[in-house]
Amino acid sequence: MAVDTLYFSRDSKMYIEIGSNVWEIPVLDGFSFSQANNSTEVTLSEMEDTAGTSKRGRKVFNDSLAPVEWSFSTYARPFLSEGSNAAGNAEKDGTDKHHAVEEVLWALMAGPGTYTAPGASQATALSGFTFSSTASPNTTAGTGLTSLSFSGSNKATLGTCNIYFSLDDGGSNPVVYKCDEAVVNEASIDFDVDGIATIAWSGFGRTLTEASKPTRTVFEGIAATNNFIRNRLTQLAITAGDTTTFPGSGSGVYTLTLIGGNITISNNISFLTPETLGSVNLPIGHVTGARSVSGAFSCYLGLDSGTNTGTSTDFFNDLTSTAARSKVVNSFDLTFKLGGVATSSTVPVYQFNFPTAHFEIPAHGVEDVISLETTFQALPSTIGGTDEVTVKFAGANPA
C-alpha cells in the first residue's frame, strides 16, 4: 500500500503533563526523542575439530530497553500574567504575577515539580517558585522578579512529568508519542550576542509509546511577541568576596562587557534498569547525581589608564597575582542579566545569580580582537547547600 502521509518536524507541537494540568511549550527546530535497545551478543571461539571445522556462530539476546532520551530548545519567554480565570492562563487567582512560558521545566529541574491550581489562599502554583506580583520590577530594590530556588533539589529523585510530542498536530491524522515519567536532567543557556535568549533542555524518560493528544490547560504567553529577550542587551556583574586579593575597582567590582558565554545546570541523572534473565526489562526510575552548575564567558581584553579600575586586564592580573595563587578556592558574586537591568520599561528579563562562584584562570583568545575567556564553577556556600544558583525573571503583559 502506498504511503500518502508523511510527518514533518515543523508541523509538531510539544505538551507537558503533570496530573490533570497540561502546558503547551513551543519548541525550536531540532527537537529529538528516542528509546534504544540494550542487547548482549554471545560468540563462539573454538579450535578446529579433526575434520578441520571450527564453529563461528553467534547469538544475540535483547536484554532491556534503555531510558528514553529527549532534547529540545525553547526561548526564554517571561511575561506578566493577566491574573484572570480565563482558560489557559498561567495564574488564575486574580493577581498579576510574573511567569514564563517554560517555567514548568525549571520547576521539574529544581525539585518535586508539583503543581496545584492556584486559589485565593495559595501563593504559588508551581513548587520552587516565589511568584512576584509587582507589576513594575526594580532590581535595585530587589523586588518585582519571580524567583526560583533550588532548595528542594537535594533529593535522590526529582519531579517527573509526561512529555507528548504531537506530530502533524493540526492535521487530520496526528501521531502522538508519550514519554512517561520524564525527568529534566540539564538546561544550557548560550549567549549568542546577535541572537535571542534560548535554553536547551535534555533529559530522560521511562518508556516511549503512542498515545492520544492531551488537551492543553496552561498556554498563556505562547502567542505573545513581546516576551523574547535579545542577548545583546545582556549585562554582567562581578563582585569579589575577598576585596583585598581581588580589588577590582577598589571594592572588588569588575566591569566587563560580554561578547559571549554559556551557563549549564545539570542534575547528572541516571536511570536504573533491572537485569532479569529471560525477559526484556524496562527502566524502573531515575536517581540524581551531584548537582553541577558551571559556565563560561568571554570579553574583549581592554586596558584602562587607571591603576586598577576593574577592566578585563585588571581582572586577569588580579586572578594571576601572587596573592591569588595562594587561594585554591576563590569566591565571586556573579550575575548574568539577560535583557539588561529589570525595570518596568526594560522587561522581559532573565537573571542568573551565582553568589559564591569559583573562577578558573582566564585564557586569552587570539583572534582579530584579543579576548579573555573565563570558566567558572558555581559552588554552594556549604557542601550540603543548594544556594549556588538562583533563577529570576520578569515580563510584561502578553501582547
Residue 304: what pLDDT?
Answer: 74
Say if pTM beats, i.e. exceeds, 0.75.
yes
Domain assignment of residue 5, yes or no: no
What's the domain range around 315?
10-36+62-394
Dihedral angle of Cα 44, 48, 49, 55, to the nearest 10 degrees:
30
Residue 378: what pLDDT?
Answer: 97
Domain assignment of residue 386, yes or no: yes
Domain assignment of residue 165, yes or no: yes
Q: How far apart are CA 100 and CA 79, in angstroms?
A: 6
Mean pLDDT computed over 34-52: 92
Q: How far apart are CA 258 and CA 236, in angstroms?
A: 7
Residue 254: what pLDDT?
Answer: 95
Position 297 pLDDT exceeds 90:
yes
Question: Considering its fold, how many domains does the chain have in total?
Answer: 1
Domain assignment of residue 268, yes or no: yes
Q: How far apart are CA 313 and CA 300, in angstroms?
A: 9
Are 296 and 262 within 8 A, CB to CB?
A: yes
Hey, what long-range contacts does 342-346 have (CB within 8 A, 24 or more apart)? Answer: 342/137, 342/138, 342/139, 342/144, 342/145, 342/394, 343/136, 343/137, 343/138, 343/139, 344/135, 344/136, 344/137, 344/138, 346/233
Domain assignment of residue 4, yes or no: no
Q: How far apart are CA 183 and CA 202, in angstroms?
A: 9
Block residue for cell numbers 492531551: 214
- E-assigned strand segments in 328-370: 332-338, 349-359, 363-365
| Percent of the chain residues past pLDDT 70, beyond the cut | 95
Residue 144: what pLDDT?
Answer: 86
Indicate the SS3 state at residue 123: coil
Residue 3: what pLDDT?
Answer: 59
Domain assignment of residue 290, yes or no: yes
Position 370 pLDDT exceeds 60:
yes
Residue 85: what pLDDT?
Answer: 72
Mean pLDDT computed over 170-179: 92
Mean pLDDT computed over every residue of the chain: 91
Position 94 pLDDT exceeds 80:
no
Q: How far apart are CA 274 and CA 60, in angstroms?
A: 18
Strand-pairing partners, residue 58, are: 43
* Tens-place pLDDT, residues 110-130: 999 988 765 544 455 788 998
Residue 120: what pLDDT?
Answer: 46
For residue 210, the Cα-to-chain-centroid distance in whole angstroms is 27
Q: Which residue has the higher pLDDT, 94 or 344?
A: 344
Residue 119: what pLDDT?
Answer: 55
Domain assignment of residue 282, yes or no: yes
Strand-pairing partners, residue 148, are: 129, 391
* Tens-place pLDDT, residues 135-162: 788 766 667 899 999 999 999 999 999 9
C-alpha cell at 26: 513551543
Domain assignment of residue 1, yes or no: no
Q: How far apart are CA 299 and CA 165, in angstroms?
A: 39
Q: How far apart are CA 234 and CA 191, in angstroms?
A: 8
Q: How far apart are CA 174 and CA 213, in angstroms?
A: 8
**Pick from 71-85, 134-148, 249-263: least confident:** 134-148
Are 217 and 22 within 8 A, CB to CB?
A: yes
